[in-house]
Chains A and B, each alone.
Chain A
Amino acid sequence: MKISWKAMEVVTAAATGLIGAVVCYGSLENGIAWNSSGPEPGYFPFGIGCLIMLGSVGTMVQALMKRSVAPVTASATGGEIVDDDEPFMDTRGFRTVALFFLPIVAMAAISVWLGLYIGMALYIFYAMRVSAGFRTSTSLLTAAIVVAVNFIVFEKLFMVPLLKGPILEYFGIY
């Protein structure tokens, strides 16, 4: 799997353009015209949506034009130094980023369900044991330390309660 820079540029520009269209559509619901009390609430966002689409089209055109431009002139105009051989992302890069990001998503999901402390404990254990390859005992200890430090910093020092979740509440920790 290879995603080239150009493909990524075009896809991103298309995505931002789509967001622009959604913003325009959303502001239509609030009214984009003028009434007796001045501009309606959608007036300003509608303009923003249009400018997002304008910028996206410009970005896309620039990305597509790059192919036709000879490498020498591209560097002379101070364009980004992009090696055509190196893709935006290859399978290895995708795996690395996904293996880092997905556990964070999992931690978020668990935290929403069972509370932040349980979420972070499981996540740190996973990251230490599986991703970094430490021994089980070391990983358990690190997880315990991280939870303890966060508990002291947030609950005791700064009095900012974090989400506890049903399990901790069952044990009477609010």
Chain B
Amino acid sequence: MGNFGQLMDGFAIALTTHHILIMVFGVLLGLVVGVLPGLGAPNGVSLLMPLTFTMEPISAIILLTSMYWGALFGGSTTSILFNIPGEPSSVATTFDGHPMAKQGQAVRALTLAFASAGIGALIGVLVITLMSGWVANFALRFGSPEYFAVYFLAFASFIGMAGGSPFKTLVSIMLGLAAGTIGMDTISGEGRLTFGINELTAGISFLIVVIGLFGIGELLVTIDEGYKFEGVKAKLSLREIFRTLAEMPRYWVTILRSALIGCWMGITPGGPTAASFMSYALGRRFSKRGWNFGKGEPEGIISPETADHSAGSCALLPMLALGVPGSATAAVMMGGLMIWGLSPGPMLFTSQPDFVWGLIASMYAGNLIAVVLVLATVPLFAFILRAPFSVVGPLIAIICVIGAYTVANHVFDIWLALVFGLVGYVFKKLSYPLAPFVLAVVLGDKAEDAFRQSMLSSGGTLRVFFETPLVATMMTIGIFLLLLPLITRVFGAVFNSGTKRGVA
């Protein structure tokens, strides 16, 4: 129960007036970010990051995580009312949320979504509370080979479990790693891949990459697809909200299953988007009312929402305890920790307990605040969304350009962000996964250092990655995940030809 005492200390830090105000402010900003398509959570957190450089690290992380919660919640509002996911992770919510809203039950749909999202998030935070200390202790025994194995495992699971083309995931990860190696080499001090361009000597900031790929890129996709906001009107009534809340306990099995999926996908870097889709698919298969999915079924809202949010919060567990973020947004925050002078990983728990437990405590409070605020602001955001995109789009563009500049006060970064914007646009349309790209940029240096140090200690043989049982196990799982697309394809081919022969 050692964690409990530390958690209480954390609450003492998180529940000051100053920090609660920061949470409210962060959640509101996050709601704006989540509601507006073309402005997502990773990008929003990146844009806000330069403004936190002068703040206390704990206040800064509370601001950024609160923004993240707000963005996760805000994405569902647009999914349900407008059938337009404000965030990629709330796509699955449109399947049943919008039909239910169209049947005149908009408030019920919103309440179901927010309540299950809140529960999902709290379960996620509970998992973090119970497990993070244990994971960190375990990770204290890690040397560089183990660390490299963890990074390898993270990247391999993207390739093995992301779905889509494994080659595209590979290209995405490796391009991110390449972008991360540009600039001064930390070990030898040589400039790498700069090709004589002075501006590249300092390297490419992950913030620029995110602002380009997720911000400008998403904006271009939004313009291209020509969104029209034709929403369902929602009139909030307290009675309707409470009646829906009373409905919630009925769905406890769905909630529990979805939360488990979410936690798993959040800890392994599957991310909230994959979690919500997986949970929706499993929900349809296991539900007694599976036939009703897609027509406004409550469980069809609860499944993706719970998983989305538990994955979102659990993504912070590996970031804190191992230094391996579980989602694109967590990757951005981890980059922030390093900028604030904290090194994420197991040492953080012993060297900065106030920071870690203050953050964890703030997650409980932040999510509760988010549930209340998101319900209260539904009419406001429904109104904002009636503004034409030809006005909102340019405003987001300005924010992105300013954001790119404020990262390091370099005008060169503005051009870089625009280039990454075009890359993001093409990649998104061709369904290259973007989250691994960001993860690779943030982790690139650390992965390389771990690799080089292990190679140094072993004198240059790859055998060092298979010497102890721990590292060998991780590497084997990683290789298995890498081969998973191939394995499923071979099995699929064998299975398919088998059934065909059976029919014939």
Known: A55-B171, A59-B167, A111-B401. 11 other contacts (CB 8 A): A38-B456, A41-B188, A42-B192, A45-B181, A52-B178, A100-B393, A103-B394, A116-B401, A132-B391, A142-B391, A163-B405
Interface membership of B174, Cβ < 8 A: yes
A112 x B51 contact (CB < 8 A): no
Which B residues touch A34, using CB under 8 A? 460
How many interface residues does B have (CB within 8 Å)?
61
Bound state CA distance, A16 and B395, in angstroms? 31
B411, closest chain A residue (CB): A112
Residues of B within 8 A of A (CB): 50-51, 54, 163-168, 170-171, 174-175, 177-178, 181, 185, 187-188, 190, 192-193, 195, 216, 219-220, 223-224, 226, 388, 390-391, 393-395, 397-398, 401-402, 405-406, 409, 411, 414-415, 418, 421-422, 425-427, 429-431, 448, 451-452, 455-456, 460, 492
Q: Nearest residue in A to B451 (C-beta to C-beta)? A: A44
A119-136 contacts to B, CB under 8 A, are 119-120, 123-124, 127-128, 131-132
Size category, A interface: 35 or more
Report whether A88 and B429 are in contact in the complex, using a CB–CB cutoff of 8 Å.
yes
Q: How far is the CA of A41 from the CA of B185 in the complex (A)?
A: 7
Cα A160 to Cα B426 with chains together (Å): 33
A49 to B405, CA, bound (A): 29
Asked, given contacts A12-B426, A19-B178, whether A108 binds B401 with beta carbons under 8 Å apart, the answer is: yes
Given the complex of chains A and B, what is the CA–CA distance between A30 and B181 in angstroms?
12
Nearest-CB residue, chain A, relative to B417: A108
Q: Report the minimum CB–CB distance from B176 to chain A (whole Å).
A: 9
Contact A8 B193 (CB under 8 A): no
- A interface SS class: helix
Contact B426 A132 (CB under 8 A): no
CA distance A9 to B164 in the complex (A): 14
**Which chain B residues border A91 with CB–CB below 8 Å?**
none
Question: Which single member of A41, A80, A101, A116 contacts B187 (CB below 8 Å)?
Answer: A41
Q: How far is the CA of A158 from the CA of B411 in the complex (A)?
A: 20
Interface string of A90-108 (1 = CB under 8 A from B): 0001001100110111011
Q: Please, how many angstroms separate the alpha-carbon atoms of A74 and B188 in the complex? A: 49
Decide if the interface of chain B is mainly helix, strand, loop or mixed: helix
* Inter-subunit contact B430/A9 (CB<8 Å): yes
A71 interface residue per 8 A CB criterion? no
How many whole Å from B459's CB to the nearest CB in chain A?
A: 9
**How far apart are B278's CB and chain A's nearest CB, in angstroms?**
14
**In the complex, what residue of chain A is closest to B164 when comparing beta carbons?**
A80
Chain B residue with minimal CB distance to A60?
B167
> How near does chain B come to A70, taking the closest CB pair, in angstroms?
14
What's the nearest-Cβ distance from chain B to residue A33, in Å?
11
Q: Does A140 contact B (CB under 8 A)?
A: no
How many Å from the CB of A50 to the closest CB on chain B? 9
Contact check, A49 vs B411: say whether CB atoms are below 8 A apart: no
Does A166 have its Cβ within 8 Å of any Cβ on chain B? no
Cα of A111 to Cα of B193 in the assembled complex, Å: 28
| Bound-complex Cα distance A78 to B391 (A) | 38
**Can you spell out 29 A-B residue pairs with CB atoms less than 8 angstroms apart?**
A16-B175, A19-B175, A19-B178, A38-B460, A41-B187, A41-B188, A41-B190, A44-B181, A44-B451, A45-B181, A45-B193, A48-B177, A52-B174, A52-B175, A54-B170, A58-B167, A59-B165, A62-B165, A77-B492, A88-B429, A97-B425, A104-B418, A107-B398, A119-B401, A128-B394, A131-B390, A131-B394, A132-B388, A162-B405
